[in-house]
Amino acid sequence: MQESYLFAGIQPSSGAGAGRGSRENDVNEPGFVTLATNGELEARADAAAPHLLSCGLCPRECGVDGASGERGWCGAGPEPRVYRHMSHPGEEPPVSGAYGSGVVFFSHCTMACAYCQNHRWSQLHEGRDRTVAELGGMFVSLAEAGCHNLNLVSATQFLPAVLEALRIASGEGVRLPVVWNTSGYESPAALELLDGVVDVYLADLRYADDRAARELSDAPDYVATARDALTEMNRQVGVLELNPDGTAASGLIVRHLVLPNDLSSTEDSLQWVASELGRDTFVSLMAQYYPTKGVEGHPEAGRRITRAEWDRARDALAAAGIDNGWVQELPDSLSGIAGTEIGPDPDADRDA
Ligand code: SF4
C-alpha cells in the first residue's frame, strides 16, 4: 500500500493481555484464545468439519465432498494451501503497526476478480498444501517474529483447518488478534463460525452494481451478499478500537478500491456504509487499482484511475460524512503496490 494517513483519531481501549506475541501495551484477550479456553473453539472446529464433506462455506454453496477429492468452484482441496506467510508492512497503519502484520496468503479464492493483484495464488493456485499442524506452526512463527496480528487473507475455503490451527496456536501461547481479510463475499454459515473468533474484519466492499460484480468477479448477487455480510461483521465487532500502541484490537475496517469508470459505484457504496453501518465506520479508500493481464484491453477496466476519478471518490467520502479511516495517495507507479512483488514461501513447491 502506498503512503496513507489517518484523518481522525480514536481512543485506545482498556484491558489486559499477555502471552506470546503480545506486547506489553496490548489489550483485550484475542477472541480465539477466550474460545479455546472455554471449549467453544473446539466446538466451532467440529461445526465446521461437515463442510469438508459437503461444502457450503461461501455463498456458492457447491456442496462438494472435498475429502473424497471433489473440487468446487474455488478449486480448493481439503488441506490448507498457503502461498506465503510473512510480516507485512503495507496494510493500513493500525494493522501493520511498527512491526508488521502477520499475513498468511491462502491459495484459491471464492471470487475471481479479473484484475486481482494476487492472481498467482488466488486464481493460478500457486502455493503448497500444508497440514493443520504446519498452519498452526506458521501462526506461532508470525507471533515469534513480533507481528501485531494474524492477518488471514482469503481463508474462507479453508475455514475448518484455520479453526483447528488456531487451537494449536492458542495452546502454544499465541496471543494475537485475528484479522479476517476478506472480499466481503461471505456466507452466513462462515460468519457464524467466525463469530467471536475474529477480532478485526478487514473487509472489501467492491461493488454496488451486480452487473459489474458478475462481469469482473464472477460473483452472483455480490451486492446483497456483501452488504449482508458487512452488516453481520459490524454487529459482531463494531467500530474499530485500538491498543495503546495504535494497533488494531477489534472492529471493522471497510476497504473500498476505486475502479475506473466508476465500476466500483463509489458514491453508492460509501453512502450505504454511512447509512447502514454508521458514519463512525472506519473506511480505507484505495487508489492502487491497476490493470493486470486479466483486464488488458477491457473497455472499462483496462486502465488505472485518473486524478479526476480519485478526486471524485474523495469527495464522495466527505459527502458521506465518514471521518474515520485512511485515504491512499494516488500512486505514480506500480512500484511497491501490495501484491505486485510478493514471492512464495521459500519452501513452497508450485503445486498447481
Ligand atoms: S468454498 Fe469453494 S467449494 Fe466451498 S462453496 Fe465456496 S467455492 Fe464451493
pLDDT digit string, tens, across residues 151-210:
999 999 999 999 999 999 999 999 999 999 999 999 999 999 999 999 999 999 999 999
Give percent of the chain above pLDDT 70.
89
Q: Which domains does the chain have, with CATH numbers?
A: 4-328 (3.20.20.70)
- What's the rounded Cα separation, in Å, for the pair 170 and 131? 17
At 129 the three-state DSSP class reads strand
- What's the rounded Cα separation, in Å, for the pair 326 and 245? 18
Half-sphere exposure of 227 (CA within 13 A, CB side): 17
Question: Locate cell 505514480: which residue?
Answer: 332
Q: Are 65 and 106 in contact (CB under 8 A)?
A: no
- What's the rounded Cα separation, in Å, for the pair 255 and 352? 29
110 C-beta closer than 6 A to ligand 1: yes
- What's the rounded Cα separation, in Å, for the pair 194 and 188? 10
Distances (CA, A) of 233 to 118, 161, 239: 24, 21, 10
The three-point CA angle 243-248-251 to 5° equals 115
Q: What is the mean predicted confidence (pLDDT) over 247-252?
A: 98
190 C-beta closer than 6 A to ligand 1: no
Ligand 1 nearest-atom number relative to CA 108: 2
Name 46's Cβ contacts closer than 8 Å, sequence gap at least 6. none
74 C-beta closer than 6 A to ligand 1: yes
> In the predicted model, what is the mean pLDDT of the chain?
91
Query: Sign of torsion, CA 45 239 233 217?
Result: negative
Q: DSSP class of residue 125?
A: -
pLDDT of residue 311: 97
Q: What is the mean predicted confidence (pLDDT) over 30-53?
A: 98
60 C-beta closer than 6 A to ligand 1: yes
Q: Which grid coordinates are listed for 140?
A: 506461532
At 20 the three-state DSSP class reads strand
- Quote the strand ranges of the chain, DSSP E: 4-6, 81-88, 101-106, 128-129, 150-153, 178-182, 200-204, 241-242, 248-257, 282-286, 325-328
Q: What is the mean predicted confidence (pLDDT) over 241-255?
A: 97
pLDDT of residue 48: 98
pTM summary value = 0.93
Distance from residue 64's CA to the centre of ligand 1 (Å): 8
Atom 3, ligand 1: residue with shortest CA distance: 72
pLDDT of residue 332: 80
pLDDT at 312 over 50: yes
Q: Tens digit of pLDDT for each residue in 322-332?
A: 999 999 999 88
Question: Locate cell 473487509: which residue?
Answer: 203
Q: How many residues does the chain have?
A: 352
At 270 the three-state DSSP class reads helix
CB atoms within 10 A of CB 167: 19
Q: Which grid coordinates are listed for 318?
A: 466527505
Give the residue with greater pLDDT, 131 vs 334: 131
Q: Tens digit of pLDDT for each residue in 77-116?
A: 999 999 999 999 999 999 999 999 999 999 999 999 999 9
At 108 the three-state DSSP class reads coil
Atom 4, ligand 1: residue with shortest CA distance: 55
62 C-beta closer than 6 A to ligand 1: yes
Q: Tens digit of pLDDT for each residue in 273-306?
A: 999 999 999 999 999 999 999 999 999 999 999 9
157 C-beta closer than 6 A to ligand 1: yes
